[in-house]
Amino acid sequence: MSFKFKLGVLAIGVMAATSAQAYQAGDIIVRAGAVTVDPQDSSSNLDLNGTSVPGARVSVDSNTQLGLAGTYMFTDHFGVGLLAATPFQHNIEGDGSVLGGAGKLAETKHLPPTLTLQYYPLHSSSMVQPYAGVGVNYTNFFEEKTTDTLTTTLGAASTSIELDDSVGVAAELGVDIRLDERFGLNAAVWWADIDTEATIKAYDGSANLAGTGKLDVEIDPLVYMVGFTYNF
C-alpha cells in the first residue's frame, strides 16, 4: 500500500470525523452545569397604605444551582434553545437610607425558564461553536416568606409577601468547545428582563389586615453557566 494511498485514507477519515462532530439540522444539544443568577437589581420606594416611604427599598442576592439547557437545531446555523434549572432561592434584603441596615426581610424561590432563537455563525464543522440568542423569559416566584425582622420593622404581629410572576425579553451569548464527536465544554451568559411587584401584608394580633405595602422590583439578572455539552 503506497504512502500516498495511506495519506488519502487518513485524510478521508479525518474529514469524516470532523463531519460527525458538526452541528447539523436535526441535532439535539444538551448542556449541563452550574448556573448563577446575579441580579442587577433596583427597587422603588415602599408604598405603605398608599404613601411612599423615601429610602425604604430592597435588594436581591445571587444564587447558584444546577442548570440544564437544550437546543434543537432546525438548520445548520439556527436552533431553538431552552434554559431550565433547579429552583433558585434568593434573600430579599433591606436597602436605601431607611432599610439599608435591616438585613434579610424575606426570601423567595423561583424558576426562570428561558426560550431563545439561537444563531451559530461558524461552519458546522468548526470545533469551536460560538452562538447568540434572543427570546423570552418567564419567571415563576413561589414559597415566598417574610422574616421576623420585617415583621418587627413594620410593628406587626405577622407579615406575608407575594411576588408577581414576570414575562420579559432575554438574550444570550455562549460558546461550545468540542472535545470529541459527542462531548464538549460550554460557557454561556444570559440577560433577562425580570420585573415583579412585591405585595407585603401586615396583620395585627387577631390576624386582621393592618396594612399593605407594595414595591416594584427590577431584578434584571445576568445568568452565568459553565458546564459540559453532549449532542445526539
Domain count of the fold of the chain:
1
Reported as a single tens digit per residue, the pLDDT across 198-226 is 999 999 999 999 999 999 999 999 999 99
Segment 83-108, tens digit of pLDDT: 999 999 999 999 999 898 899 999 99
pLDDT of residue 125: 80
Say if residue 3's pLDDT is above 90.
no
2 in any annotated domain: no
Q: What is the DSSP string of 3-70?
A: HHHHHHHHHHHHHHHHHHTS--TT-EEEEEEEEEEE---EEPPEEETTEEETT-EEEE--EEEEEEEE
Is the residue at 196 inside a domain?
A: yes
CATH at 62: 2.40.160.20
- Strand-pairing partners, residue 42, are 218
Full domain range(s) for residue 38? 26-231
pLDDT of residue 22: 60
Q: Is residue 221 part of a domain?
A: yes
Cα–Cα distance for residue pair 69/176, rounded to 1 Å: 12
Mean pLDDT of the 41-48 span: 92
Structural domain contains residue 18:
no
User: Distance between CA atoms of 165 and 116, rounded to whole angstroms?
Assistant: 19
Is position 192 within any domain?
A: yes
Task: Look at residue 43 and tell me if it is in a domain.
Answer: yes
CA 87, 215, 218, 39 dihedral sign is negative
Question: What is the bridge-based pairing of β-strands 209-218 and 195-203?
Answer: antiparallel
Q: Is residue 182 part of a domain?
A: yes
Instruction: Kindly state whether residue 144 falls inside one of the protein's structural domains.
Output: yes
Distance CA 54, CA 215 (A): 12
pTM of the complete model beyond 0.75: yes
Q: What amino acid occupies position 161?
A: I
Give the pLDDT of residue 43: 93
